[in-house]
């Protein structure tokens, strides 16, 4: 997206090619903001999960899940939000991308109550927990079972807009003990996709010949059950 212009040059070009310019213009004017309004702020404050899209300097993409108690994604003001980074697998894929390329795309989806989503796009920076906490007095301090934020991703909001509900399934929360902060392989899901035993490419880019039997050896207890849209899910 260019400064002062809503949408990318690519989407504008395709709108012209496919004849959707009027529909797109109405969506831009009716639904897209460059900040978070009070309704959006309230919505963010009650969400427990968010999906974070990042890309490195060459455009290679990654998408990751972030989760916490309601309010874990903290709105600092109408142009700024922050979410915590806890101790993980040490790969730092999302943060590494942000180090190279600050552009991030966030989507929060309410699968339980309103069946609606919110997109937030913007520019991100990494701030260590003590530094941000010294500036933001009401920054959440969720230390449940060792969940101590190591650092935060602070996002300057550039776009905020709705994701419509028509294809969002209704889900119902079910009791589940979450192993926040654990390093236990089994409790984290183990080698659920049998990746460890799957042959890698050799030096010529070919797969090894030996077959692999895919057997699920770990079970992950779901945190949600799916109910048909339009039902209470209870």
The overall average pLDDT reported for the chain is 85
68 by Cβ neighbours in 10 Å (0-12 / 13-18 / 19+) ranks as buried
- The domains found in the chain, sorted by start residue, are 33-163 (2.30.110.10), 170-234 (no CATH)
Q: Are 62 and 54 contacting, i.e. CB atoms less than 8 angstroms apart?
A: yes
What would the pLDDT profile of 144-165 be if each residue is shown by its tens digit?
666 789 999 999 999 999 999 9
First to last CA, the chain: 42
Mean pLDDT of 9-17: 97
Any idea what DSSP says for residue 165? S
**165 vs 111: CA distance, rounded Å:** 9
**Candidate from 21-30, 102-111, 172-181 with smallest mean pLDDT:** 172-181
pLDDT the model gives residue 203: 57
- Is the whole model's pTM more than 0.85, yes or no? no
pLDDT at 80 over 80: yes
Nearest by Cα to 110 from 180, 165, 39: 165
pLDDT the model gives residue 37: 99
Q: Are 226 and 168 contacting, i.e. CB atoms less than 8 angstroms apart?
A: no
pLDDT category of residue 206 using cuts at 50, 70 and 90: low
């Amino acid at each position: 997206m260019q400064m002062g212009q809503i949408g990318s040059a690519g989407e504008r070009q395709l709108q012209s090619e496919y004849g959707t310019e009027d529909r797109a213009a109405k969506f831009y004017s009716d639904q897209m903001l460059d900040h978070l309004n009070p309704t959006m702020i309230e919505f963010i404050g009650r969400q427990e999960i968010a999906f974070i899209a990042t890309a490195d300097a060459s455009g290679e993409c990654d998408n990751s899940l972030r989760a916490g108690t309601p309010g874990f994604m903290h709105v600092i003001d109408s142009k700024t939000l922050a979410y915590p980074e806890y101790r993980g697998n040490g790969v730092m894929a999302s943060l590494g991308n942000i180090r190279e390329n600050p552009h991030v795309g966030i989507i929060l989806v309410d699968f339980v109550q309103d069946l609606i989503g919110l997109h937030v796009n913007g520019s991100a920076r990494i701030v260590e927990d003590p530094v941000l906490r010294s500036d933001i007095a009401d920054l959440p301090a969720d230390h449940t079972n060792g969940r101590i934020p190591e650092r935060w991703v602070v996002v300057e909001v550039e776009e905020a807009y709705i994701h419509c509900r028509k294809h969002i399934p209704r889900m119902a929360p079910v009791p589940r003990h979450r192993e926040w902060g654990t390093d236990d392989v089994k409790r984290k899901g183990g080698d659920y996709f049998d990746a460890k035993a799957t042959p890698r490419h050799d030096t010529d880019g070919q797969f090894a010949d030996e077959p692999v039997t895919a057997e699920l050896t770990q079970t992950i207890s779901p945190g949600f059950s799916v109910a048909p849209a339009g039902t209470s899910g209870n």
